Chains A and B, each alone.
Chain A
Amino acid sequence: MANKIPRVPVREQDPKVRAHNFSEVCYGYDDAEAALEASRCLNCKNPRCVQGCPVNVKIPAFISHIVSGDIGGAARVISEDSSLPAICGRVCPQETQCEGQCILGVKGEPVAIGKLERYVADWSRKNDVRFSDKAPSNGRKVAVVGSGPSGLACATDLARLGYDVTVFEVLHKAGGVLQYGIPEFRLPKDEVVASEIENVKALGVRIETDVVVGRTVTVDALLGDEKFDAVFIGSGAGLPKFMGIPGENLNGVFSANEFLTRNNLMKAYDSEYDTPIYVGRRVAVVGGGNVAMDAARTALRLGAEVSVVYRRTEKELPARAEEVHHAREEGIEFRMLTNPVEVLSDEKGWVRGLRCIRMELGEPDASGRRKPVPVHGSEFDLEADVVIMSLGTSPNPLIAHTTSGLDVDRHGCIVADESGMTSKPFVYAGGDAVTGAATVILAMGAGRKAAAAIHEKLSDK
């Protein structure tokens, strides 16, 4: 029986070594490992994994191509539903999506779907296999705001349907969070991200960088003077949140966004690049999401001792299980049920520590998780010269403020229905700009739905 084979472990860089470099942690499967792991798939008639995937990749179908040694065929199956498989294979929270649904997971270990997807995508890249077939031009123009996961997914689908697509990116490099947020050791930029973006460009999608939609050009002007037939807004999550505790503007307190942007987009870790980064000796990262893990592991690689401070328990950590596991292996210290109350200053206005209070779990709150409550009188000081706040983001108001008739909710997120349709005709939105900070794959799913809705709308016109 195929399912007697244990899940094939994936080879990784030694934690002691990788704690000092930015090379990718996970090496991925080789041909034999992938074939063996693929053979574990039961090829269910009613594949629950496909339902668990936000873009419904036909998982058993691509895996059976691996089993028969037709990796190109596997790649074609994936390309029908996902435009960024090398990225999703690396950063999706598979344990709560496809793999979380795998029937093998009920009694044992689920099929390593993410690792297999990555294997196929890496094979395609190394063998220069690209799926750039598309419908003939239909003469209609669509503008996509933001070149992150939702924008790239939307642009890909529309280009395949024959649309003339221009993506506007505010930064100097395309990719959005894939570029500025997720570190090199999790998602190699030149090798993986750049190559996936080349695939999108190969479909004829134009990417214009250095354009601030809302300032350099408005959505209204794109629909007006620039004669786009529709606009998709995938502008991302926006402004970093802070806690509102004393001392947050001291020198040495950063948002995770700033710390990661300096390191990832601006490549501060590479001495050839000019952008500085300040790491200190002891770093406290506040938060428990993927971004917090990325910031913590980046600071570690730059030479600091790092603690993650989180107000709930390990069970509630929102980060992917693999990231938490890797962070621990690398020597990151986790301080659970701990909440900062003040950033402490030295005599010159630089961080010298973080005053925290211990927490305990009380009654479940609106999210269904037990609410952490402070333990009276339990304050203590943590030594730190850098504090990185990783508490999520709030929407950037720029586009909402400069687009007539575009509704936002009380948090400032753009209001859009399931298909991405907003309150403004011919304007669609998706990804973090609509949902608040979420995942790469959910953003991609939203981009694809919006592409379908835009196609339906413009086909009727």
Chain B
Amino acid sequence: MYRIVSRRMLTPVICMQEVEAPRLAASAQPGQFLIVRAEEKGERIPLTICDYDRDNGTVTIVTQIVGASSRIIASKMPGDFFMDVVGPLGQPSEFVNVPVGELAGRRYVFIAGGLGTAPVYPQARYLHQAGASVDIILGARNAELVIMEDQMRAVCDNLFICTDDGSKGEKGLVTGILKNLLDLGEHYDQAVAIGPMIMMKFVTLTAREYGLPLFVSLNTLMVDGTGMCGACRVTVGGKTRFACVEGPEFDAYQVDFDEAMRRQTMYKPQEAEADHKCKIGLH
């Protein structure tokens, strides 16, 4: 059982919780994720690690309420418990393996979409502390889905915000801002995009025009998250890879996004049935 230490609604639909998980907090690295099973009869839900506090033995997760399971997770108050929190899972970001001294002076740009902001935070902080230059493009549908603005500002050199409807920051898409920066002659050594699959696909198309090296973090379906089930398989460079153990970050130019998006819809008909009245799909 894992106790919730604090809880804050970042927006009416996005919840941030700090959870006691000492072993996980001690071992988490930027780029990795965890799995929460909130209640005995609940699903195992993969979530990104937004923050970890090694001294206090806590990890921070951010959940957007989109269905039954995320609603249950977000409903847990300080003092309540999750049945299970397991991780860290997946490979750390590539730069974690680079000697810290070599990161100083490198230029990174992060493209975060909606809830994808949460996993960008520990990556940007790590690089910022290592002396790298970090720009962040943060996009969301509307102002209500823009999160962690102040925290992000504190770990980067430049923060650009855009929303689809213009209710916060620039009106437009993250690809537009990225294109502008690159057209203005900004040079980045590495870009990282984390957000909805469709956003990552379009960021990839934009970045390709400029030859910008790009990693994407794939939020595929998973059950165990340890390589055992293969629900997370994605085609990368023509080969089947398991996002949970070989990812979640991959070279964007090798990823078959259309297949990945289709595979994400595997249980959509069942999820649409409000609280899973019938889960045994007969299509």
Contact = CB atoms under 8 A, between A and B. Distances in A.
Q: Which 3 residue pairs of A and B lie closest in terms of their CB atoms, listed nearest first?
A: A258-B229, A210-B86, A278-B281
Contacts of A240: 228-230
5 contacts: A240-B229, A269-B280, A271-B276, A278-B266, A398-B227
B270 interface: yes
Contact of A255 (B27, B42, B229, B245): B229
B281 A215 contact: no
Interface string A170-202: 111000000010000000000000000000000
A210 to B, nearest CB: 4
Contacts of B46: none
Given A170-B224, A262-B223, A274 B42 contact: yes
A255 B224 CA distance: 13
Contacts of A303: 280, 282
A302 B276 contact: no
A238 interface: yes
Interface in B158-197: none
Interface in B227-248: 227-231, 233-235, 240, 242, 245
Given A170-B226, A216-B88, A396-B227, A280 B83 contact: no
A261 interface: yes
Interface of B: 23-24, 27, 32, 37, 41-44, 68-69, 83-89, 223-224, 226-231, 233-235, 240, 242, 245, 259, 262-263, 265-267, 270-271, 276-283
B24 A251 contact: no
Nearest to B86: A210
Contact of A172 (B68, B86, B231): B86
Contact of A215 (B89, B242, B277): B89
Given A215-B88, A271-B278, A274-B69, A249 B233 contact: yes
A239 B24 CA distance: 23
Nearest to B88: A215
A398 B91 CA distance: 10
Given A212-B86, A240-B229, A249 B278 contact: no
A457 B129 CA distance: 46
Contacts of A209: 84
Given A251-B262, A251-B263, A239 B84 contact: no
Nearest to A275: B43
B41 A350 contact: no
Given A170-B86, A212-B88, A269-B280, 12 more contacts: A171-B224, A216-B86, A216-B88, A249-B263, A252-B266, A254-B231, A258-B229, A262-B223, A276-B279, A276-B280, A280-B282, A303-B282
A267 B44 CA distance: 12
Contact of A212 (B89, B262, B277): B89
B23 A239 contact: no
Contacts of B32: 215
A258 B223 contact: yes
A332 B281 CA distance: 20
B27 A217 contact: yes
Nearest to A255: B230
A26 interface: no
Contacts, number: 143
Nearest to B231: A258
A211 B229 contact: no
Given A217-B27, A266-B44, A398 B240 contact: no
A209 to B, nearest CB: 7
A370 interface: no
A274 B45 CA distance: 11
A258 B226 CA distance: 12
A172 B85 CA distance: 9
Contacts of A171: 224
Contact of B87 (A215, A251, A268, A396): A215
A259 to B, nearest CB: 9
A240 B230 CA distance: 7
A302 B84 CA distance: 28
Interface in A402-461: none
Contacts of B279: 268, 271, 273-277
Contacts of B234: 249
B83 A274 contact: no
Q: Quick one: which of B41, B69, B280 has the most chain A CB within 10 A?
A: B280
A123 interface: no
Contact of B265 (A251, A254, A396): A251
A248 interface: yes
A266 B259 contact: no
Contact of A398 (B245, B278, B283): B245
B275 to A, nearest CB: 8
A109 to B, nearest CB: 38
A242 B263 contact: no
A180 B228 contact: yes
A275 B271 CA distance: 10
Interface in A265-294: 265-269, 271-281
B270 A278 contact: yes
A170 B88 CA distance: 11
B18 to A, nearest CB: 18
Contact of B83 (A172, A211, A215, A267): A172
Contacts of B43: 266, 274-275
A236 to B, nearest CB: 8
A396 B229 CA distance: 11
A323 B242 CA distance: 31
Contact of A211 (B23, B228, B235, B282): B23
A385 interface: yes
Interface string A47-82: 000000000000000000000000000000000000
Interface in A232-254: 238-240, 242, 248-249, 251-252, 254
Nearest to A217: B23
Contacts of B231: 254, 258
A274 B40 CA distance: 10
A276 B24 CA distance: 27
A396 B245 contact: yes
Contacts of A248: 240
A349 B240 CA distance: 16
Nearest to A272: B41
Contact of A279 (B24, B229, B281): B281
B117 to A, nearest CB: 24
Given A249-B233, A277-B279, A216 B228 contact: no
